[in-house]
Amino acid sequence: MPGPLEALQEMLGEAFRREAPVAEDPGLAARCAEHVKGNDRLTPAEQVDLYRRQFWMRHLGSLEEDYPGLRALLGAAAFEAFCRAYLQAHPPASFTLRDLGDDIVTFAEGHAGFPEGQEALCRELVRYEHAFIDVLDGAEPPPLDPARLAVMTEEDWGTARVVLHPLLRRFRLAYPVHEIRDAARAGSALPEVTLKAVCLLLFRRDLTMRWMEVDPLALTLLDALARGVPLLPACELCAAGLSEEETAQLGERVQGWFAHWASSGLIVNVAHIAPQDAVEALGGEVVPH
């Protein structure tokens, strides 16, 4: 059974999350009067209602800041309705607004209030914009040491395990949701929304959030590297299904991708692993080192 303080917190939490003024619920207003004194200007219910309005202003404003693309796509009224439904289903569980959207991706997957025909677009946009939160304030690992690459032999590269930046996020998208968010943040008109497959990387560099469109094969390679598959087996996975000519060109393409990723800070280490572990990794099982 909750103690007096917990009971009071639960009652006030219920009052703050109400859509309508507290005074419109006589039972709740009476419970507020047991704990809130009121004054010559405001009744206890009206005093509690000040905090109710502040709760909604603060939390709706925070979600608007974190998901500007979704707000621009839906419009102010529909976006607020989505956020209110989310906050009712998932009341804040943390004292920091940073964690306010912890459950919003899961909620959006089951939300039935998105405009007809735009459900998949809205859910992709929520997933993409939510990734910004962790990437924006996550811990930065040490950069790749060039000396580590200088001592790598050709044989080493055959079984090297490439360590990607822990804040790198990879997306296979059906819509160019990054263009929607960029336009919203710039205050520009939204681009025409059409189906357009996009392979996208989201990362932080020099304290600035950045995205990079990549070739689908490049993303396949990154996905394999992220699972811990060594470089050579990862390239072999990429080559599966390619023509002879495409396979012959793959090595040069990988060199170009790798150089670009390294210069962009997306690769933070290259580790040696035993050849037998490289073979195991090709099957998706990697022995940690």
Q: pLDDT tens across 118-164, in order?
A: 999 999 999 999 999 999 988 888 888 877 777 777 777 778 889 99
Give the largest CA-CA distance in the chain.
85
> Which run of H or of E encompasses 140?
none
Residue 203 pLDDT > 50, yes or no?
yes
Domain limit, last residue, from 90, 107, 137: 137
Reported confidence tier of residue 32, pLDDT bands at 50, 70, 90:
confident
- The whole-number pLDDT of residue 96 equals 92
Which amino acid belongs to residue 231? L
Give the residue carrying structure tokens 């906050």: 87
Asked whether residue 171 is domain-assigned, the answer is: no
Amino acid 286: pLDDT = 37
Residues 76, 59: one domain? no
Which of 44, 65, 86 terminates a domain? The answer is: 65
Q: Give the confidence band of 284 by pLDDT, cuts at 50, 70, 90.
A: very low
Same domain, 58 and 109: no
**Do 76 and 21 fall into the same domain?**
no
Is 99 found in the same domain as 57? no
Are residues 217 and 253 in contact, defined by beta-carbon separation less than 8 angstroms? yes
Final residue belonging to a domain, choices 85, 104, 137: 137
Q: For residue 289, name the pLDDT band (cuts at 50, 70, 90).
A: very low
Is 227 part of any domain? Answer: no
Q: How many CB atoms lie within 10 A of CB 250?
A: 17
Query: Does residue 117 lie in a domain region?
Result: yes
Residue 119 lies in a domain: yes
Q: Indicate whether 8 and 52 sit together in one domain.
A: yes
Residue 44 lies in a domain: yes
Residue ranges in 214-243 assigned as alpha helix (H): 216-226, 231-239
Structural domain harbouring 77: 67-137
DSSP 266: -
The mean pLDDT value for 46-52 works out to 82
Asked whether residue 4 is domain-assigned, the answer is: yes
* Domain count for the chain: 2
Task: State percent of the chain over pLDDT 90.
Answer: 56
pLDDT at 213 over 90: yes
